[in-house]
Amino acid sequence: MNKPSQATDIVFTKKFINHIYIWKGDSQMKVGFIGLGIMGRPMAKNVMKAGHELTVFDFNKSAVEELAGLGAYGATNGKEVAERSEVVITMLPNSPHVKSALFSENGIAEGLSAGKTVIDMSSISPVASREFSGELEKMGVDFLDAPVSGGEPGAIAGTIAVMVGGKKEVFDKYYDLMMTMASSVTYVGEVGAGNITKLANQIIVAVNIAALSEAFTLAKKAGVDPNLVFEAIKGGLAGSTVMNQKAPKILSRDFNPGFRIELHIKDLQNALDTSHSIHSTLPLTSQVMEMMQALKIDGNEKDDHSALAKFYEKINNITID
């Protein structure tokens, strides 16, 4: 059999790439992206890499310029983003930021019209998600709350997990778009359900890191090396993704974020507010919230949330390493 020449290989590869390009072109959307921070910037890049036409905006001009340099259109405000897009994605810190981006002067709502969609991927209060959805519905605009988990590494690799609330048919319409940023996109119910799911995730992560810090403190005080404790237990029932990611940071005292304590305080506050509004109680969450508040008072709010270990170190007068 004749071995194909290198030239033949190149022609074939180009044909194959063209074929993929045409296939992508069929489903190309005009996408707006607002909020180009730690998470939003790499997420927006992944949307663009998948072949969608992107318009971006952030208060941070250098972030807009970076995306414009890669082929996105850099808009001057949210209104312009919405005018140029059929679907607008937001990735902002908290509920007040999303409210302002949507409804302030020259905000997204001014550029929206019936039939368009807003997908808010920020982690915000589910009560606020429902409020925003109700306002947009009056204009004939659909809304999904679609917060994410997976952190900056997941955002860069396009492997975040997305948890989505809203109308099922709107979820189905934008499933492929959300998958350009993710390894899983899961429908969890009506608007607000996405952020309820995210709050559940944040409770589990916060309590896990506190338990890890508490356990390492016991080991250290008892004279057993916490590094060996980690090695011994990580494959057993106590082992978890949180343990695998955060124990090495605690044991090497590397508290660079990652996920900042100030953002986790925001999530736990949203969890407690939501819980109180539906007459439920979260005793463990409120305990960890107070630990994070103490860390903030000590000036550690920009640290990674693995710095919960510092709270235990301080009250036990030790260092875990």
**Cα–Cα dist 75/70, whole Å:** 14
Q: How far out from the chain centre does Cα 196 lie?
A: 14
Element spanning 137, H or E: helix 126-137
Cβ at position 307, least distance to ligand NAD in Å: 14
DSSP 90-124: E--SSHHHHHHHHHSTT-HHHH--TT-EEEE-S--
- Catalytic residue of the set 45, 79, 198, 266: 198
Q: Which residue's CB is nearer to ligand NAD, number 126 or number 226?
A: 126
Total chain residues near ligand NAD (CB under 6 A): 26
Cβ neighbour number for residue 158 with a 10 Å cutoff: 19
Cβ at position 63, least distance to ligand NAD in Å: 6
Residues 89-118 that bind ligand NAD (CB under 6 A): 91-93, 97, 100-101
Element spanning 30, H or E: strand 30-34
Q: Which residue's CB is nearer to ligand NAD, number 243 or number 261?
A: 261
Q: Which residue's CB is nearer to ligand NAD, number 259 or number 311?
A: 259
Q: Which residue's CB is nearer to ligand NAD, number 39 or number 109?
A: 39
List C-alpha distances in Å: 40 to 6, 88, 156, 179, 272. 40, 13, 10, 15, 26
Q: How far out from the chain centre does Cα 6 lie?
A: 43
Element spanning 73, H or E: strand 73-74
Q: Which residue's CB is nearer to ligand NAD, number 215 or number 295?
A: 295
Phi then psi dihedrals of residue 38, to 5 deg: -50, -45
Cβ at position 189, least distance to ligand NAD in Å: 19
Active site residue 310: no
Residues 197-236: x/- map of binding to ligand NAD (CB under 6 A)?
A: ----------------------------------------
Cβ at position 318, least distance to ligand NAD in Å: 28
List C-alpha distances in Å: 120 to 20, 105, 108, 208, 231. 29, 19, 12, 27, 39
Cβ at position 122, least distance to ligand NAD in Å: 4
Produce one character per residue of 119-134: b if its CB has 16 or more CB atoms within 10 Å, e if not.
bbbbbbbbebbbebbe
Cβ at position 222, least distance to ligand NAD in Å: 33
Judged by CB under 6 A, the residue of 152, 190, 262, 321 near ligand NAD is 152
Q: Which residue's CB is nearer to ligand NAD, number 58 or number 66?
A: 58
**Angle, vertex CA 228, rays to CA 225 and CA 229, nearest 5:** 85
Residues 43-62: x/- map of binding to ligand NAD (CB under 6 A)?
A: --------------xxxx--
If one asks whether residue 148 binds ligand NAD (CB under 6 A), the answer comes out as yes
- Answer for the pair 197, 67: CB distance below 8 angstroms, yes or no: no
Point out the residues that are catalytic.
198
* Footprint of ligand NAD (CB under 6 A): 34-40, 57-60, 63, 91-93, 97, 100-101, 122-123, 148-149, 151-152, 259, 263
